[in-house]
Structure 1
Amino acid sequence: MKILLVGAGGREHALAWKIRQSPLCTQLICAPGNAGICELADCVNIEADDIDALVDFALNEGVNFVVIGPEVPLDLGLVDRLQAQGIAAFGPSELAAQLESSKAFTKDFCARHDIPTARYDIFTRLDDAINYLSEMRPPYVLKADGLAAGKGVVITTDKDAAIAELRDFFGGKFGEASKIVVIEEFLRGPEISFFALSDGKTVLPLIEAQDHKRAYDGDKGPNTGGMGAYSPVPGFGPDERQRVIDEILIPTVAGMRAENMPFKGVLFAGLMMTEDGPKLIEYNVRFGDPECQVLMRRLKS
């Protein structure tokens, strides 16, 4: 089987390392790849967001299966385009990818399907968002609606700083991604990343990991896409795992199917393990980076 892996990060390096172990893989190609991946695969100079070029390459080279690492090509509909050409792809459709590409969509989806999450509201106007802050207790949690490379969440205890961030968001800090802003309550507890696979009907749980989001030592500095990760996570046992599956993952897959957006691929739940149980912070629709690097090391099959 000729496999095309899309992406250029540490996550894709880990996926390439694992894919190469499969007896089904006769050739592995990566677009665009990196120096480490080039030791495992044939790298081609096509960027992960160049959807037309990726589809043309897969067709011309007789690719049998495409594994998509990052979120942007999923949001741009790469899976839909490949499947329309009869090429199998691992990942959700553009519609299902809204679970990551729109935080507002996900919060409303959780409300419709009784999935536990933080209290929230959604804003398209700066004045309304500033007024809502007066109803909230600090810390304030501000989220850009769209994709922002893991940097679209701001947590601050200072109201003036929160207002300044809102001005930046609505002023185009992340372009169209921050034209809609979600403000939600601050949840307390350890944060867990939990991963599962789905075929649109069933949930196949994988394992948990924990990453370090803040840029500096001592959990300080701005949020990043992840500075490091480890797995397993101390204190996350069978009971906690089952609650995540029953209360969050299964209702999500069932809800997406009921809304005619069946979810296929990796479901990555960012969770806060509160005193009241697990609550969803956000969904990602692909493996995390750096979490994928520790998951692939633990995966035995």
Structure 2
Amino acid sequence: MKITVAPSAGFCFGVKRAINLAIDSASKFDTELNTLGPIIHNPQVVSQLKEKKIFPVDTIDEIKSDKVIIRSHGIKADIENKILQKNIAIIDATCPFVKRSQEYIRKAFLEGYFIIMVGDDKHPEVQSVISFADSSRYKVVNKLEELNKIKFDEKIALISQTTQDTNFYLSIICEVFKKTSKEIIVFNTICDATKLKQEEAAFLSSKSDIMIVVGGYNSANTNKLKNICRKIQNNTYHIETEEELKQEWFIGAENIGITAGASTPDWIIEKVVGKIQSFDIL
């Protein structure tokens, strides 16, 4: 049995930056710190950070010190203003690619574009980014048919969640061009790490008898990887930890592919590999 781990599996630049900034800040200030929401979508990492006195909270009123760490997904513009009004210092762990998206939205809004954002409207990144435009000046879509709710009688700006499926974003772009002759501006906001992970996942799925996708169940990019893999290899399993692996999945399999979301640390991936290797499979 051969096990192949996708080269880019695991932490991306933005996640590494957020985790390191949180740990360094807790050490520097030698005090308990809060993140507004989980800093990344991985419960095992969030749990580890608690050992370093870094605790997630859901609201501003729960912040226990005069400093707060902003999660990698960013926060809404109005929430940021409320934090500053309370004289709470911001330690900004927002992914730089998300920050760039926020600036794109702000610019498009000020220049009078109607904004179409492709993503999950319940995801904290999408809520963060789109908050930099007036609520009457945008529409978040996650399905092609949702474009039918838009009038397309003015110039359009298109932007995507940074972890969106590249092919789906392209399909939305093509459909918008079919629907209007008005000016269209397209922002390329899917991060390079996401694109690479998706390409590797697709290739590895085509060469594997089983695909294991490792990452938080609430992780958008991990779920996108799962969907990409499952379209190619039906024997695709999404797990958070090695404890969820079942030996019967691997009976008769010769090639095992493993990929992992951007919020999955190396130590979890290594445990998954080790558990598979420990199975007594003839």
Rg (Cα) greater in structure: 2
Higher strand share: 1
Between Structure 1 and Structure 2, the one with more helix by share is 2
TM-score normalised to structure 2 length = 0.35
**TM-score normalized by the length of structure 1:** 0.33
Name the structure, 1 or 2, with higher relative contact order (CA <8 Å, separation 6+). Answer: 2
